[in-house]
Structure 1
Amino acid sequence: MIKTLTFAAMHFSIAFGVVYVMTGSIALGGLIAFIEPLCNTVGYFFHERLWERFRARAGQTRRTPALQA
């Protein structure tokens, strides 16, 4: 869930910045920065859950193994 929340914060910031630069409107930037990433964040959460199920069915572990040096 932490990963989802940090992704949301990053997405809100990017969405606001892009809309603000394009329109010069703080209000419009804020509105779009709230609605668009919220929809994507919810989608991302369920996308991750579906991939966890896919990995479990494929016999893979849920955690990524540590990188070896």
Structure 2
Amino acid sequence: MAKTLSFAGLHMGTAFGIGYAMTGSPWVGGALALVEPACNTVVFHLHEKVWKRIEARRGAGRLIGT
């Protein structure tokens, strides 16, 4: 759990830093620090679901081919 929390903090800090550096606004940096990691979490979840399906199909193909 500590590793997950440290990664979340790093991710949010990076998003804030990039947003602030590009705009000079701490408000934009703060908004990016909240919105981007949340969107990325949803996309990662969907990505994992797709990969599980791909792996299941590959595994099923191996069983049929043996």
The normalised TM-score by structure 1 is 0.62
SS at the partner of 2:59? coil
Cα 1:38–1:21 shift into 2, 3 Å = same
1:23 to 2:30 alignment: no
How many residue pairs get aligned? The number is 59
**What residue is the counterpart of 1:57 in the other structure?**
57
Structure number having the greater helix percentage? 2
Cα 1:21–1:45 shift into 2, 3 Å = same
Separation in 2, partners of 1:27, 1:42: 23
SS at the partner of 1:36? helix
TM superposition shift of 1:8 = 4.5
Which of structures 1 and 2 has the bigger CA Rg?
A: 2
Structure 1, unaligned stretches of length 5 or more? Answer: 61-69
CA contact (8 A) 1:8 1:41 kept: no
The normalised TM-score by structure 2 is 0.64
Matches within 5 A, 1:1-69: 8-59=8-59
Identity of aligned residues (%): 52
Query: Which one has more relative contact order, counting CA pairs under 8 Å at least 6 apart?
Result: 1
